[in-house]
Amino acid sequence: MHLQPLLDVLRRERGTQVFFVLLLIVAVGVPLLHAALPASSPLHISTYTMTLIGKYLTYALLAISVDLVWGYCGILSLGHAAFFALGGYAMGMYLMRQIGPRGVYGHPILPDFMVFLNWKELPWFWYGFDMFWFAALMVVLVPGLLAFVFGWFAFRSRVTGVYLSIITQALTFALMLAFFRNDMGFGGNNGLTDFKEILGFDINASGTRIGLFIASAVFLALGYLACRYITSSRAGRVVQAVRDAESRTRFLGYRVESYKLWVWVFSAVLAGIAGALYVPQVGIINPSEFQPINSIEVVIWVAVGGRGTLYGAVAGAVLVNYAKTYFTAALPEYWLYALGTLFVLVTLFLPRGVVGLVDQARDALAKRRASTPALPTADSTLSSAQRSP
Amino acid sequence: MPASIQLICRLSLLLLLAIPIAAQAQSDDLFVERLELLTANNFKQKEQAVAGLLNLRHPNTKAVLQALLDGRLYYERASKRVVIRAAEDAFSVADAVTLTPIPDASEDAFSRITTNNQLRKNLRGAIAAFELDSPDARVRLTAVREMLRSLDEDTVALLRERVEQERDDEVRAAMTSGIALFDLDNEDAGVRLAAVERLRGSLNSDVYNRLRALIERDDDGNPVEPDPEVRAVAIDVVNGIETRRAFYGSLETLFFGLSLGSVLVLAAIGLAITFGVMGVINMAHGELIMLGAYTTYVMQLLLPDHIGAAVLLAIPAAFIVSGATGVLIERGIVRFLYGRPLETLLATFGVSLVLQQLVRDIFTANNRPVETPAWMAGSLQINEVFSITLNRAYVVIFTLLVFGLLLALLSKTTLGLKVRAVAQNRNMARAMGVRTEWVDAMTFGLGAGIAGVAGVALSQLTNVGPNLGQQYIIDSFMVVVFGGVGNLWGTLIGGMSLGVVNKLLEPYAGAVLAKIFVLVALILFIQRRPRGLFPQKGRAAEA
């Protein structure tokens, strides 16, 4: 492993440093404020708020997985929520099996919805999900495998641009229709819910929630590092070359399809992990997670934050979701107006997102202040991100 | 002598006149007698009474039987006089023989003549026999169908008698198959054989079920039909019928497929213009369709007494509403994003969210009822197993009309010429003096307007609600991508074949699974042919 480029970036890139500092503060501070302070204290963070922030962290992980393929490889996926939901379903199946005989119908093995459907035995694809290691493996394998098969077909036959976007959307749409069916064996319309415990801990207990929260933060940090490692590596530069001039890269002798495929699969796996962390915190997974609009929302998080930066994706995910939480509570009827306007305004006026805005402001300030020309702070990834399709 | 001759003549004339009168009187007596039998407490006797009344051919028989069937036949308990109650709520009765109203009849003095299932069945058959005299072929056909439900010696005899004089082909065919069905139970194998032969090619489901039963084996494993020759012919005939039924069944599937396909084409064709000709992804396309559907609803609110006219007027209105919205989107957003298709996609998606919420705020989130005009309701019955629902047929025709108009517009008019020029080479077109900005706005408006027109058609087929557009947007994209971008013929063929394939799969896989199969097949298809069925050729394809 050549870690040197990664370390260079970490040392140099202000956004990444800010991201890690903030993440550390959140990952330590939130559980501390939740557990150490009494509920009466004004600084106390309730289980609800902590779970909410934990949800944002999983969204952030999903956002960087989208940013990796869109911002760095130029593949606009309108179906990434499908990988997220598949990871979530794998985790949900584990949690379902953990309920054991404590379901409403009290069947020792079958989950409630199967008893309700009058099924006599567990379908084969539910085997093994009573073991955590198997479920964890599936969280990685199922989205990864689907992405591999899909990407292998798509990239090899050079489906690109909006065509690829549309078939990713068709993919998640088809999966949504499939998971809505009762006889698929994934709980149909209602999905999987009523979870009791995870790894032996009560899923609603405050301590478990803290654990899940910290796990989300840790996986976000690891995912970020992995993505940053990829983007700062030699292969990562080829990936960016594919984004900027696919044919030229191919003519230079690089196997464009392979680079795209591996970035794509890795991104899908990240999305699956995000989904697996999301489900135990939210307590439910159902087919509406496959809705095409969910995937498009993820794209808008990345666009709002600023794509091709990773930390911008995180910022966008948190900002948009905070706005969503606020709006749906305070002005529910205006949320879609706000989101729709956000789509339009960001694409028209903020092609580099909030991060780009911050950079511009900082550059303007620096220009005004500095009499001597400062060293260029923006790294190559940032400047090339402006040229992305 | 003249006087005596005159007398004889007068007498004989009198006699001549008197005979029918006497006959009438005699028949009236018998009629009363048999009517009285109806008042018996025993259904067997009532059945005999009905049979007797039928033999009599008295002019009032039909009225009496109809009243009996409707439960309007009463009798005075004291005199056993049978009366017919008028259909009104108040109790007023008329004598069954003379049909003269009986004044001041009290309901307490009368009892209703009750019927049972068997009797009602007989009555329906008997009344149907009367209706065979109707001059209207449709009434006769209904009568024959009614009789087929309860065949016995008498009705079949009547049918045999009538089939000779029947002029209408359809009625005669129904009669023949009725007689043949009855003959299937005949002792004589020759008669049965002839009957089976006569049923060859019939599409009636009673006939089909009856013949199927004939070639089955009963519980002991013996064939239902003992005669091997009859059995062989019956098997042959059943096979023939099954082939014909399958043929019409597949015709019906084809029609359903074409109707679904034309909906897809209608929804996609506007997209084919904006996406195909301009290279712009308009995710708000579905919402423009929705606007068209709501325009229909508003037109019907404005013209509540002229539902049909409102639907027709809604076509231009929807074109204008959606078209204007489209021009606004193009001028306000899309024109800043040309050459950046992915950004266009996101921005127009934002527009679609705003439009959805707007409609939800104005019309609430509930589905709005759009009425179907009378001339679009109902169906066209081709034969007993194949019928065409009129509203779907209209949509198919309407789609072809819109398609033809659009094709003519693009190939015959100056605007079409400019649109094609800009699509092929924007810079060159501008150099030749084409106002490309204006052409862009018009093209986008045209695509959007057609989406609105599609909305009018869809409002006749599905629920009109804020999510109407979302249901069609992915399908529309699939159609455009499948057919090949920038090719209207590709859209037509792509849409129609997707519709037909979907409906072909449905009986085997169910609606949802069929849709999934089609989507997966399409995903695989795009991998094989990334540029669709009819890819653009030449330099334009490289852009």
Q: Which of B328, B332, B322, B313 lies closest to B289 in space, CA to CA?
A: B322
Residue range B316-342: average pLDDT?
91
Q: Which of B345, B478, B523 sits opposite A165 (nearest CB)?
A: B345
Alpha-carbon distance B350 to nearest alpha carbon in chain A (angstroms):
4
CA atoms within 13 A on the CB side of A184: 22
pLDDT-derived band at A385 (thresholds 50, 70, 90) equals very low
Whole-number percent of chain A with pLDDT over 90? 50
pLDDT at residue number B358: 92
Indicate the average pLDDT of chain A.
88
Q: What is the pLDDT of residues A240-290, one digit of tens each?
A: 999 999 999 999 999 999 999 999 999 999 999 999 999 999 999 999 999
Any chain B CB within 8 A of the CB of A342? Answer: yes
Q: What is the pLDDT of residues B447-456, one digit of tens each?
A: 999 999 999 9
Q: Which of A78, A290, A249, A301 lies closest to B341 in space, CA to CA?
A: A78
Residue range B436-460: average pLDDT?
91
Residue of A nearest to B346 (CA): A343
pLDDT-derived band at B314 (thresholds 50, 70, 90) equals very high
Q: Which residue of A180, A182, A246, A343 is the best one to mutate when testing the B interface, meaning the one whose CB has the most B CBs within 10 A?
A: A343
Residue of B nearest to A159 (CA): B530
How far, in Å, CA of A224 to CA of A16, rounded? 9
Residue range B259-266: average pLDDT?
90
Q: Which range in B65-74, B308-317, B477-486, B507-516 is most confidently predicted, on average pLDDT?
A: B308-317
How far, in Å, CA of B284 to CA of B348, rounded? 5
Q: What residues of B are in contact with residue A290 (Cβ under 8 Å)? A: none
The answer to whether A181 contacts B351, with C-beta atoms less than 8 Å apart, is no
pLDDT at residue number A382: 44
For the cut 80, the answer to whether the pLDDT of residue B279 exceeds it is no
pLDDT at residue number B2: 58
How far, in Å, CA of A273 to CA of A241, rounded? 28
Structure-model confidence comparison of residues A184 and A64, the more confident one: A64
Q: Which of A174, A339, A389 sits opposite B340 (nearest CB)?
A: A389
Structure-model confidence comparison of residues A275 and B33, the more confident one: A275
CA atoms within 13 A on the CB side of B230: 26
pLDDT at residue number B287: 93
ipTM higher than the 0.85 cut: no
Among the ranges given (A306-320, B8-22, B255-269), the one the predictor scored with the smallest mean pLDDT: B8-22
DSSP H or E stretch at residue B102: strand B101-102
The answer to whether A343 contacts B512, with C-beta atoms less than 8 Å apart, is no
Sheet holding B110-112, edge to edge: B101-102, B93-95, B82-85, B73-76, B110-112
Alpha-carbon distance B217 to nearest alpha carbon in chain A (angstroms):
35
pLDDT at residue number B3: 60
Q: What is the pLDDT of residues B125-138, one digit of tens each?
A: 777 777 777 777 77
Convert A110-132 to b/e letters by CB count within 10 Å (16 or more is b).
bbbbbbbeeeeebeeebeebbeb
Residue range A42-67: average pLDDT?
93
Asked if residues A105 and A230 have their Cβ atoms less than 8 Å apart, the reply is no
pLDDT at residue number A2: 77
pLDDT at residue number B88: 65
pLDDT at residue number B294: 95
Structure-model confidence comparison of residues B95 and B263, the more confident one: B263
Q: Which residue of B275, B335, B345 is the best one to mutate when testing the A interface, meaning the one whose CB has the most A CBs within 10 A?
A: B345
Among the ranges given (B33-37, B258-262, B328-332), the one the predictor scored with the smallest mean pLDDT: B33-37
Among the ranges given (A138-147, B152-161, B409-418), the one the predictor scored with the smallest mean pLDDT: B152-161
Residue range B60-71: average pLDDT?
79
The answer to whether A340 contacts B354, with C-beta atoms less than 8 Å apart, is yes
List all residues 6 or more positions away from A167 whose beta carbon is below 8 Å from its beta carbon: A154, A159, B481, B522, B523, B526
Whole-number percent of chain B with pLDDT over 70? 91
Asked if residues A332 and B361 have their Cβ atoms less than 8 Å apart, the reply is no
Any chain A CB within 8 A of the CB of B365? Answer: no
pLDDT at residue number B543: 41
For the cut 70, the answer to whether the pLDDT of residue A375 exceeds it is no
Asked if residues A222 and A213 have their Cβ atoms less than 8 Å apart, the reply is no
The answer to whether A344 contacts B524, with C-beta atoms less than 8 Å apart, is no
DSSP conformation class of A22: H
Any chain A CB within 8 A of the CB of B472? Answer: no
Q: Which of B354, B516, B522 sits opposite A178 (nearest CB)?
A: B516
Residue range A45-57: average pLDDT?
92
For the cut 90, the answer to whether the pLDDT of residue B174 exceeds it is no
pLDDT-derived band at A233 (thresholds 50, 70, 90) equals very high
Q: Which residue of A166, A291, A334 is the best one to mutate when testing the B interface, meaning the one whose CB has the most B CBs within 10 A?
A: A166
Residue range B306-322: average pLDDT?
92
For the cut 60, the answer to whether the pLDDT of residue B19 exceeds it is no
Alpha-carbon distance B317 to nearest alpha carbon in chain A (angstroms):
26
Residue range B329-342: average pLDDT?
87
The answer to whether B345 contacts A180, with C-beta atoms less than 8 Å apart, is no
Copy the structure tokens of residue B253: 């599937």
Q: Which of residues 275-334 of A touch B (CB under 8 A)?
A: 292, 296, 299-300, 303, 333
Any chain A CB within 8 A of the CB of B351? Answer: yes
Any chain A CB within 8 A of the CB of B43? Answer: no
pLDDT-derived band at B141 (thresholds 50, 70, 90) equals confident
Q: What is the pLDDT of residues A72-111, one digit of tens each?
A: 999 999 999 999 999 999 999 999 998 888 888 888 888 8
Any chain A CB within 8 A of the CB of B481? Answer: yes
Coil/strand/helix, residue A195: coil
Any chain B CB within 8 A of the CB of A156? Answer: yes
For the cut 80, the answer to whether the pLDDT of residue B185 exceeds it is no
pLDDT-derived band at A386 (thresholds 50, 70, 90) equals very low
pLDDT at residue number B58: 74
Among the ranges given (A37-46, A304-313, B212-221, B469-478), the one the predictor scored with the smallest mean pLDDT: B212-221
For the cut 60, the answer to whether the pLDDT of residue B20 exceeds it is no
Q: Which of residues 514-533 of B touch A (CB under 8 A)?
A: 515-516, 519-520, 522-524, 526-528, 530
Q: Which of B350, B360, B522 sits opposite A344 (nearest CB)?
A: B350
The answer to whether B527 contacts A153, with C-beta atoms less than 8 Å apart, is yes
Any chain A CB within 8 A of the CB of B427? Answer: no
Q: What residues of B are in contact with residue A177 (Cβ under 8 Å)? A: 512, 515-516, 519
Asked if residues B467 and B356 have their Cβ atoms less than 8 Å apart, the reply is yes
Q: Which residue of B349, B358, B478 is the best one to mutate when testing the A interface, meaning the one whose CB has the most A CBs within 10 A?
A: B349
Whole-number percent of chain B with pLDDT over 90? 18
DSSP notation for B29-86: HHHHHHHHHHTSS-HHHHHHHHHHHHHHT-TTHHHHHHHHHHT-EEEETTT--EEEE-
